[in-house]
Every structure is written in structure tokens, then in C-alpha cells.
Amino acid sequence: MKTSYFILILALGIGSALSSISEKLRAQEAKPSADAAAKPAPAAPVQPDAKAVPAYSGMYSFLKEGEFVQVTVEDTGHVTGFVSRFGDEENNKEEFLDQFFKTAKLDGNKLSFTTEMVNGVTFDFKGTVERGEGKNPGDEAYFVLNGTLTQSATDANKKVTSHSQEVAFKVFPQDAASPPAAKK
């Protein structure tokens, strides 16, 4: 009987000890340790806000009918594009010349770009992107590039002549047709 009594007391003691240890462990899980409290939680990765980069990308009118400027603003705010224009020389008046942006920058609504030289001609634009008279995104002139365009030409003797003018390039309308509905 002494052995049974001893086993019963031992079992009660072990059960009580386990219960106490279990409560302490739960309390520790609920409270962060001193090390964990001292370390800040890792920051969530920053995702670019789609609304942070304005939708200025598009094709805008240029100096003559049929010419245009393509401006592409990437998610990161990086700007690329080109000017597509008719040639100025007798031998290329009927040809389109594409002059890609050598440098381009968008700071808020302030846009600037300089094109690569093609046939001795470069273009430099400094201005702003503003809301135009178009009512809805995708309408003609929803955005307008207002500013100063400087055309620089280098002749065979390496003489550079420049001509500056105030310009307003309107965004072309975008095809508003929705894709055909899927057949059910």
C-alpha cells in the first residue's frame, strides 16, 4: 500500500509541475522576449503605387501633320520615347526619321528630353505635361505637352544653328473600342 500511495503522490506532483510549466510556456509565447522587443519587425517590401506614376504615356502631335512624339513613362518613372518626323533634306523629304530620346526626365509634371542626332538635327524639349481639353482619358488632347522645343542643326562645316519655339503637343486619341466579348 505504501508503494501505491507513493506512486499516487508522485503522479500528482508530476501533473502539478507539468501544469505549472505549461502555464509559464504559454505566458512566454504571449510576451515577446527582450531580444524580440528590441528588434524592429522587418519592413514589408515597398511596392510602387500604380497611381504614383501618372498615365502620361502616349503618342503626341509634333510639328507637322503626320509627325508625332511617343512618350513612355515606365512604372519606375523612367521615361523613354522618340520623335517620328519627315526628313528635311531633298533626298529624304518623303521619309520618316525616328529620333530616339538620348536623355529624358519626368519630375512631377515637368518633362524634358533630348533626341539623338539624325542627319545633323537634334531636338530638345523642356516643359510640362498638363491636362488638356479632352474630357476623358483616351480622348484627344486629354494631356498636352506645353513648353519650349529647340531644334539644333549641324551643317557640313560643323556650324550649329538653333531655333526655339513655344509648342503645345496634344495626345492622340486612343482606341476606346473594348475587346470583343467572349462567347459563352
Domain covering 58-170, topology: Lipocalin (2.40.128)
Domain boundaries, the chain: 2-32, 58-170
Centre a 10 Å sphere on the Cβ of residue 67 and count the other Cβ atoms it contains. Answer: 15
From first to last of its 184 residues, the chain has per-residue pLDDT tens of: 544 444 444 444 444 444 444 454 445 545 554 544 455 544 444 444 445 566 899 999 999 999 999 999 998 889 999 999 998 877 677 788 999 999 999 999 999 999 999 999 999 999 999 999 999 999 999 999 999 999 999 998 999 999 999 999 999 998 644 444 444 4
